[in-house]
Amino acid sequence: MKIVIQRVTSAGVTIDKTQVATIKKGLLILLGVVNNDAKDDIKWLSNKVVNLRIFSDENGVMNKSVVDVDGDIIVVSQFTLHASTKKGNRPSYIKAAKPDIAIPLYQAFVNQLETDLGKKVQTGQFGADMKLDLVNDGPVTIIMDTKNKE
């Protein structure tokens, strides 16, 4: 699994001109799943996300987690995170998992985040054409890949 985490002051997801998710301070997470991702990746990744100290403390030092600041999270599926651009100019998405693999792992990741965060995590809609609005705070953007966890 690969994620892009963006620290935001606000974020939202719109599908067909209807806003389906909105948060204030927190994290917008883009999640890409590949065929060999497994459930054991989820616990590790969720734990990293909720404990990642990327919010400023009273001294302006990034020393607080999303839990510490009572922030919210939106998770959006994004198969294009696994684009291969080695050949030609048209990206290949052959590494991205098909929905029968990706959807259960995506849902399990959201459920694990809710458990670790202690509150509801908002989402986009898997496979939908979504419009994302966000104000990246900092900007702070972190990329994590479960293939690099050791």
Separation between Cα atoms, residue 51 and residue 7, nearest integer Å = 13
As given in the structure block, the two tokens for residue 19 are 């806003």
- 80 catalytic? Reply is yes
- Could you tell me which residues are beta bridge partners of residue 68? none
Which residue out of 14, 18, 80, 146 is catalytically annotated? Answer: 80
Separation between Cα atoms, residue 105 and residue 84, nearest integer Å = 21
Residue ranges with strand state E in the chain: 2-15, 18-23, 26-32, 55-56, 62-64, 72-77, 122-123, 130-145
* Catalytic residue positions, numbered: 80
